[in-house]
Amino acid sequence: MAEPKELDLEIPPELAGVRVDKALREMAPGISRTRLKDLIERGFVMVGGRKVLRAGVPLAAGDRVKVVLAGRTHIAPTGSIAPIRILYEDRDLAVIYKPAGVASHPNEGCAPGSTVADALVERYGSDLPVTQGEDRPGIVHRLDRETSGVMVIARAPGAMGSLRAQFKARTVSKEYRTIVRGEPRFDADRIEAPIGRDTVTGGRMTVAKDGGRASETFYEVLERFTGFAYLRCLPKTGRTHQIRVHLAHLGLPVLGDRVYRTRAAAGVSLPSDAPPVHRQFLHAFALAFDHPSSGERVSFEVEIPEDMRAFLGWLRAARR
């Protein structure tokens, strides 16, 4: 069913005094918070025939609110945010490289036009399939803003369904590379520890003592250094922040991770001659899946970026 071009709503008594953005989220739950903010700021929300340009304007019972469902605004990433790089594309999908510092989709704190989703619409148009929210066109899975690496994007509804089903069935192979603080006890190990939301600090995840969702990560040491290690990680499940949480649980926090770090790591500064570490050194190195149309197994990989290469080079030089 096609989306209506506009909404004409009357504010009920129970929403009297509620700000316009919150009232609209109650009355039009199919419109994401990000899109509502965009529509308000662009003048497509009117109360009593007058434009409302601030989300905090309170409403009165009986107010008539008109919402024109204009298309999204999309601005190509500019300034200090690096654009995505296309590794492969066909009519079903695209495989891209996402640099660190670029969010997968809009969220609070993102500048307009700065996300992978915005760059995709800029390249492929606004008819990309959507299943996880109107502001996530083409997005099948996500990488954290500060994680670099390879992502697969759906360009057709059938491809979106196939790819999401493969992620759910855990038949997609994912390989990450990371530099951690600390020295692993084993050359390879499997971490099986449930992950749940940290009830003390709401924005974090944690290894749950009770409850949580089953989570499994395999890691292998590629290189050892004094106080550091370069790891290959293969997550079997795909929980939020899984690799970062699991490694920190072992006392091996990802270098540069400001959220999941041990007390010991937080109190130790890098030597003055070390290359700068401006983000968590976690990189989605490789991705393999069955092509939605041909069924052929395809794989893609992207070498670690320059900031991680520079730090590894410094570690190798110090080891000599």
The answer to whether 215 touches 237, Cβ cutoff 8 Å, is yes
The answer to whether 171 touches 288, Cβ cutoff 8 Å, is no
Sign of CA dihedral 84, 88, 94, 96: negative
Active-site residue (options: 144, 187, 210, 273) = 144
User: Is 144 a catalytic site residue?
Assistant: yes
Closest Cα to residue 251, out of 238, 241, 236, 264? Answer: 264
Question: For the CA atoms of the chain, what is the radius of gyration?
Answer: 22
Positions annotated as catalytic residues are: 144
